[in-house]
Structure 1
Amino acid sequence: MARKVLVLVGTKKGTFILESGEDRRAFTLKGPFCETWPMNHVVGDASTGAIYGGGGNEWFGPAVWKSEDFGATWTHSSQGLAYEEGETPIKSVWSLKADHGKLYAGVEPAGLFVSADGGESFAHVAGLRDHPTRPEWNPGGAGLILHSLVTAPDDERKIWVGISAAGVFHTSDGGESWEPRNKGTRADYMPEGQNYPEFGQCVHCIVMAPGAEDRLYQQNHCGMYRTDDGGKSWQSIEKGLPSSFGFPAAVHPRDPDRLYFIPLNGDIHGRFMPDAKAAVWTTKDGGATWEAKREGLPQEGAFLNVLRQALATDCMEPAGVYFGTGSGSLYASADEGESWTEIARHLPTISSVETLVVEA
């Protein structure tokens, strides 16, 4: 049966969905949805076809939106998305992950919630905020945010989260207990001699390699890293990149050695693509070597930035790769990043890009 590819885009003014056939030659844009709420992360549940959007701010409050008809209609819920009275109120939902029949939501101030009823209601996974390091967590530049969520495909009890600027934490018992997993990742902003702390790193993004549960990749404020033991130790893989600073990373859907990354020119030099020339960098050997892919991307005056959740792949053959910019352009590659086409422009600031492949 024929399939179609949906590109799910979260923006500062609602959700947009781009739809294409299997060839991904032309895309139809739909939206904005979610009443133009600021949407930080929009994801699809491949097992049900549902689309979820996490967003809000201090004015709207936090909520998770849901569509069961590919964006035609939406509902939203905030039930249970709250800390106990007296704690700092939740500003927004920043990350979502649908897996094992559950929906996880990462929020600001950093914490984790889970829904067992398809986003109708949420329960606080209190073990994370009960960790003894919690009083010493400090916010990154955008706030104290849980923005990365990784679940193990074969064990629903194993979860990794990324928090700016507290680092990576892991649970192997479904969230009752957690441990920092930051060994080998730098914190250059710490005092001399304290650059490799147990926690306090400003992790930007973590992703899991396909078919290799213990291999994760991490883009950090202070480097690009890989782990082959579930985060117990990390090794730098930034050699060969024009900059070790950036926000998003995305894995190939089938090849654990292939990773996509968009470096920016540094944390204090404008945070745009190096030399204002757009490129997506890829490794085919787990980070040993890197290559820039530029065909079809602007090579002059491209002062573009890409946020931490705005780079994604699809599961087609060959794999598609997509990224969205702060200036509202969305680029797509139907040949695993070898060449690129702009498929949307003038959207609001793009916060996230994800994909969902469904039957046509």
Structure 2
Amino acid sequence: MTQRVFLLVGTRKGAFILESDGARRDWALRGPFCETWPTNHVVADPASGTIYAGGGNEWFGPAVWKSTDFGASWSHSSQGLAYEAGQTPVKAVWSLAVGAEGRLYAGVEPAGLFVSDDGGTNWSHVEALQQHPTRPEWNPGGAGLILHSLVLDPRDNGRIWVGISAAGVFATEDGGASWEPRNRGTRADFLPEGQNYPEFGQCVHCLVRAPGGGARLYQQNHCGMYRSDDGGRRWESIEEGLPSSFGFPAAVHPRDPDSLYLIPLNGDIKGRFMPGGNTAVWRTRDGGSSWQAGRAGLPQGDAYFNVLRQAMATDTLEPAGVYFGTNAGALYGSIDEGDTWTCLAPYLPTITSVETLVMER
């Protein structure tokens, strides 16, 4: 049995797909797809291989694109991706996640959650999140008021975590019927002194779940890097040893809950680029107690790009592959868990997301 490995790449000008075999030495690039719509997130259902791409803007409107033939053809729908009359219209889809039995979730701007049980053709609003009593006090981050992180628990269909800029982390244990903020221990340095640890209002940048049967989450925040071992009820800072507390993406190892990858930037008001102009992917193998920088094969000197919040991912192979894309349009990959890196595609549009799909044939 052979393997097909896909990199699913969202960009400002549509979706792209790179394909390789299990060796991951040579990659074929296809695209742009989705009629070059602004595409914020591209994901796949690992059971069926169906690919979904979410995006849009205030001119195009929101939509979720779908391909059942690995990108050869696409359809799209926005049926139901709308708030009630009188509310601020949905501008775009920012995040997607595939749950049990193909149930599909979409996070949108302004921040809200939608669900589809028919493969993305029709959508329903998960109203309880927007009806949370804190909702009138949610404020937008730099990219707007967006629900950009969608984390599902494969062991429990009712458990979902979301990351919203700049409202924080919220969680449900009952499939979306009720929600609670889970931000205890995360800072909001931009608030007045004495109000830096609020119940909500933190600017979460990326939220990911560790593999295995535990309740470990990792969070890259505007104000630090954090780990939670109880499903987000309490957060512990793990930024010591990093060159900066500021960054956007985080990616977990597919099998080791203690291994995590980050790309710190030089700070929120100092340009938001590689520290010192030198590119590095930082890795921990002990849950954030210590960090090591991987630089082999990455640009050193005069590297003034950044990496956006959904633009880093790992694959499920052994050893695990790690991939990231830059706002300058370069896509990099490592097939040895971050020890060495290769540029896979140098001239794509601004890369907004990177995800992986491994299929047996």
TM-score of the aligned structures, taking structure 1 as reference length = 0.99
Aligned to 2:42: 42
Q: Counterparts of 1:51-70 in structure 2 under 5 Å?
A: 51-70=51-70
**Contact 1:219 1:225 survives alignment (8 Å):** yes
CA distance in 1, matches of 2:293, 2:219: 19
Aligned to 1:12: 12
Aligned to 1:105: 106
Aligned to 1:253: 254
When the two chains are superposed, the root-mean-square deviation of aligned CA atoms in Å is: 0.5
Runs of 4+ residues over 3 Å off in structure 1: none
Q: Which amino acid aligns with 1:98?
A: V
Q: Which amino acid aligns with 1:81?
A: L
| Structure 2 spans left out of the alignment, 5+ residues | none
Any idea what the Cα deviations from partners look like across 1:68-105, whole Å, max 9, x if unmatched? 00000000000000000000000000000001120000
Q: How many residues align?
A: 360
Q: Tell me whether 1:80 sits opposite 2:80 in the alignment.
A: yes
Aligned to 1:228: 229
Post-superposition offset of 1:359: 2.3
CA distance in 1, matches of 2:359, 2:75: 21
Aligned to 1:138: 139
CA distance in 1, matches of 2:213, 2:140: 31
**Contact 1:210 1:254 survives alignment (8 Å):** yes
Aligned to 1:295: 296
Aligned to 1:188: 189
Aligned to 1:203: 204
**Contact 1:212 1:256 survives alignment (8 Å):** no
CA distance in 2, matches of 1:144, 1:125: 17
**Contact 1:127 1:178 survives alignment (8 Å):** yes
Q: Tell me whether 1:93 sits opposite 2:88 in the alignment.
A: no
Post-superposition offset of 1:346: 1.0
CA distance in 2, matches of 1:194, 1:38: 37
- SS of match in other structure, 1:168: strand
- SS of match in other structure, 1:16: strand
Aligned to 2:346: 345
CA distance in 2, matches of 1:213, 1:183: 19
Q: Tell me whether 1:283 sits opposite 2:284 in the alignment.
A: yes
TM-score of the aligned structures, taking structure 2 as reference length = 0.99
Post-superposition offset of 1:212: 3.7
Aligned to 2:358: 357
| Structure 1 spans left out of the alignment, 5+ residues | none
Aligned to 1:71: 71
Q: Which amino acid aligns with 2:94?
A: W
Any idea what the Cα deviations from partners look like across 1:255-283, whole Å, max 9, x if unmatched? 00000000000000000010000000000
- SS of match in other structure, 2:276: helix
State percent identity of aligned pairs: 72
CA distance in 2, matches of 1:298, 1:306: 14
Aligned to 2:152: 151
Aligned to 2:122: 121
Post-superposition offset of 1:48: 1.1
